[in-house]
Every structure is written in structure tokens, then in C-alpha cells.
Amino acid sequence: MPINRIERRYVPFAYAFLLPTIAVFLLFYLIPIVTVVLTSFTRWDGFSTPTFNGLTNYLRFFSQSSFLISLRNLLLWSLIAATLHVGFGVLVAFVLFQKPKGWKAVRGVYMIPNIVSSAAMAMIFRFMFNNDFGFLNSLIRLVRPSFQVNWFFESPWAFVAVTLTWLFYGAIITLIVLGDLMNIPSDLHDAARIDGATGFQAILRIQLPLCRYAIGTSIILSITSRIAMYEAIALTTRGGPGDDTMNIPIILVKAITDLNYGLANAAAVFMFLMGMFTLWIINRLFRMNNPIY
């Protein structure tokens, strides 16, 4: 598209068309992010002017016992997300790629739990895991009639219950990986077959490495979802019992309602840095900047 006279005449209009987007970007992204970073170093209740207090918020945030539990939970959940959760999503993608009968229907319904509001999904799980009328315990009682567990409200089951609300729901991973699988040039499959690679070898040596980007992206997405997980906890355990299922967004919201904005924003900066760290490390591990083909 060469820059000709006609086009140059329209450049001011092009800028004008971008103005609303730029306004939203400034108002809802740039200014908030700068505010978060700056005020995380201040004492601020939202009404008075923020006063600089150095690293006090961070030190308070890091020394809270709920933070240490949140960090432990985040590490555990991230590990589970990167291995079992993404692993299951990838497995489903490879299963669907074999195109067994009904694969399109399964691909279609697998997305439903992701389409349902995460608030509603949390409710559904609270009901399913309910001790009195929940489906899970009714099922277990068919075998062991005396079984009684209040999944979301008893240690150590609460952690397991919260994990189960997302563990197998990897439809986004499946769709991304399946997309990459379908984009593998067919001559690569043919070449593998001629070289005598059996089905499993072809998967291990060719298809899996060629889906490297998709798998890396999936791990990033699923770990960042763990960092930001809110509804699945706030509407079930609220971080309890004790602080068993505490996580950083729960601490952040509590700090806002306590009008401790400096602390809330220190927590936000920490979330942001964790996200960046995940992005960086997975990028390195999966060599996502190197071309695949």
C-alpha cells in the first residue's frame, strides 16, 4: 500500500478514528496501571492525599500469613495447571484430531463450562459438592452410605474442591492445540509414515513438538488464570476454611473494602509481576521466539 497523495489527505481522519480507542486506553489501562504502581508505595485510604511510605505496603503484604498461604496455593495450582490441566486439554486435542465419530459434538460441548459465567460455575460446583443434596456425595453414598464431607468447608478437602472446579475444563487449550494440529502440513504426516513412524511415534516426535507454541500459550493462559482466579474462590470457600484456599485477588479485594488502597495496589503489582514472570519463563522454556517450521 503506497503512501499516495489521496492517502496522505486521510491521515488526520485515521488519527481521529483512533481517538476513542486511545481515550479508553488512557482512562482504563494506562492511568490505572500507573496509579497502581505509584500508589503501591504510599499510604492511601482513597480520600486523603497519598503519602509516600516506601516499601511498607510490600513488607506488610509479604509478611501476612495469608500471603504465604496464597503463594503456596499459587505455586501448587500453577504446577497442577501446567501439568495436569494443560496435559488433559492437550490429550483431548489429540483425541479429537483422530476425528473419531462425534468429535465435533464433543468439541462443541466441551466449551460450555467456559461459556457459563465463572460466578454461576462456582455456584454449580457449590451445589454439586454440597453434602446434603450434592451430586458427588450422593454418588459416593451409593457405595459408602456413611460418607459425609463438606467439600468446600472442610480442611483439606476445600483445596481439592476448588482445584476440581477447573482441573478438567481445558476447552480453550484443546481449541488452540487442535488449531495448530490441523495446520501441520499434510506432507509432514506422509513423510513420517513413509519413514515408518507408528502412530504413537508420530505423535511424540512430530505432532507434539510442532504444537510447541500452542502448548506454551496454553500454559501461560492457565497459570495467569490461576493468578487472577477470583469467583471460583470468593463464591465457594471465600479463602477458607482458615486460609486454606486463600489467593491474592481475595486479599486484594479485602484490602479495597478495608480502604487500604496502598496495600491493595501492592498486591496488584505483585499479580502483574507474577504474570510477566510466567510469560517470560514459559517463553524461554518453550523457545517461543524461535520459528517452528
Query: Using CB under 8 A, which residues numbered 239 to 258 contact other proteins?
Result: 249, 252-253, 256
**Which member of 124, 188, 206, 288 binds other proteins (CB under 8 A)?**
124
Verify binding: residue 133, other proteins, rule CB under 8 A.
yes
Verify binding: residue 233, other proteins, rule CB under 8 A.
no
113 vs 241 by CB, closer to other proteins: 113
158 vs 248 by CB, closer to other proteins: 248
Query: Using CB under 8 A, which residues numbered 208 to 227 contact other proteins?
Result: 217-218, 221, 224, 227
134 vs 244 by CB, closer to other proteins: 134
Q: For the stretch 64-102, what's the b/e string if a residue is b when 16 or more beta carbons lie within 10 angstroms of its beta carbon?
A: bebbebbbebbeebbebbbeebbbbbbebbbebbeeeee
Verify binding: residue 84, other proteins, rule CB under 8 A.
no
State how far the Cα of 238 lies from the Cα of 248, in Å rounded to an integer.
12
Verify binding: residue 102, other proteins, rule CB under 8 A.
yes
Question: Which conformational region is residue 290 in: left (phi greater than 0), alpha (psi within -120 to 50 degrees), or beta?
Answer: beta
**Which member of 199, 205, 285, 287 binds other proteins (CB under 8 A)?**
199
Q: How far is CA 67 from the centre of its chain?
A: 19
158 vs 214 by CB, closer to other proteins: 214
Verify binding: residue 147, other proteins, rule CB under 8 A.
no
Alpha helix (H) residue ranges in the chain: 5-25, 31-39, 56-63, 65-80, 86-97, 103-110, 112-115, 118-128, 135-143, 157-164, 171-182, 186-194, 199-202, 208-210, 212-228, 231-234, 248-257, 261-285
Verify binding: residue 3, other proteins, rule CB under 8 A.
yes
- Number of residues engaging other proteins in binding (CB under 8 A): 94
